[in-house]
Amino acid sequence: MSANSESTEKILNNEKVDFGNRVVKLEQKQGLVNNVFNNVASSYDLMNDLMSFGVHRLWKEALLDWIAPRPNQILADLAGGTGDIAIRFLQRGGQSAHVIDINEKMMAEGQKRKEINKFGPRLAWMAGDAQAIPLTNNSVDRVTIAFGLRNVPDRALALKQIVRVLKPGGRFCCLEFSHVQNPLLSRIYDRWSYDVLPKLGQLVAGDAYSYKYLVESIRKFPSQAELCTMMADAGLAQIKVKKLSGGIATIHSGWKLD
């Protein structure tokens, strides 16, 4: 079954998904997510630094450490937004990278970055949906998605698409916020997330609602074990999890063996 037909079947079955703390129809979520990222696009990179005290940069470097880019490797970075991961991949010696994002406003912000000029045709920007990735079968060596999988309406379908575009022997890595296990750290993290981040979003981006959604979406995202199961069900193997900053973020890794 193709990605489009599988998605259509779920829509016809009136499937419901999470949008933060709300439950919405599957076909509604993408539009709601688009509105959020249209609102925050111009301040997205700055807010990432403020929200994480810059630690998100270390998390992304840890992701690239696991990917270990090589000169013969092609990357597809899904929900690639402003190109942060793709640029790091090329800076570390990767051959080429596709930034794929359904939100063209986010990519337009990334295309303003001065450092992208040095990469020329090695860096491509593509408007596309993680649920129907606009790449051919078995065409890329690495697929990444950083802080984006929780915003995808049908995560299981996206994972199947990732397996489809990966070459045999290719690797998928997902960097995402996670569920903190330590009780003390969890209380501090919750206080910061629910009390401070929406106010910071209002102050910097003029938008408290979007950051309230982003906080809620983290809490609704599958647990580490659940995501491992979803990856295995999609056809990935040798799945591993790396916790970052006490489990505030995690990297999930899996391989397409054949």
| Strand 16-19 versus strand 22-25 pairing type | antiparallel
Tell me 255's DSSP state. E
Residue matched to tokens 């937004």? 81
pLDDT for 11 equals 53
Reading the block at residue 184, the tokens are 């003390």
Q: Which pLDDT belongs to residue 9?
A: 59
Dihedrals phi, psi of 136, to nearest 5 degrees: -80, 165
User: In Å, what is the CA distance from 257 to each residue of 80, 97, 158, 176, 239?
Assistant: 25, 22, 18, 23, 11
Output the pLDDT for position 178: 86
β 166-177/249-255 pair status: antiparallel
Residue-level pLDDT at 247: 86
**For residue 55, what pLDDT is reported?**
87
Q: What is the pLDDT of residue 4?
A: 61
Using H for helix, E for strand and C for coil, what is the string for 57-95?
A: HHHHHHHHHHHCCCCCCEEEEECCCCCHHHHHHHHCCCC
What is the CA 99 to chain-centroid distance, rounded? 11
pLDDT at 6: 63
Give the integer Cα–Cα distance in Å for 19 and 216: 8
Contact indicator for 255, 214 with CB cutoff of 8 Å: no
Residue 24 CB contacts under 8 Å (≥ 6 apart), including other chains: 16, 17, 18, 32
Per-residue pLDDT of the chain (258 residues; tens, 9 = 90+): 566 666 555 655 678 898 878 888 999 999 988 888 888 777 777 777 777 778 889 999 999 999 999 999 999 999 999 999 999 999 999 999 999 999 999 999 999 998 898 999 999 999 999 999 999 999 999 999 999 999 999 999 999 999 999 999 999 999 998 878 777 777 877 777 777 777 877 887 787 888 888 888 888 899 999 999 999 999 999 999 999 998 889 999 999 998
pTM of the model: 0.88
Residue ranges covered by each domain of the chain? 3-181+211-255
**Which class in CATH covers the domain with range 3-181+211-255?**
alpha beta
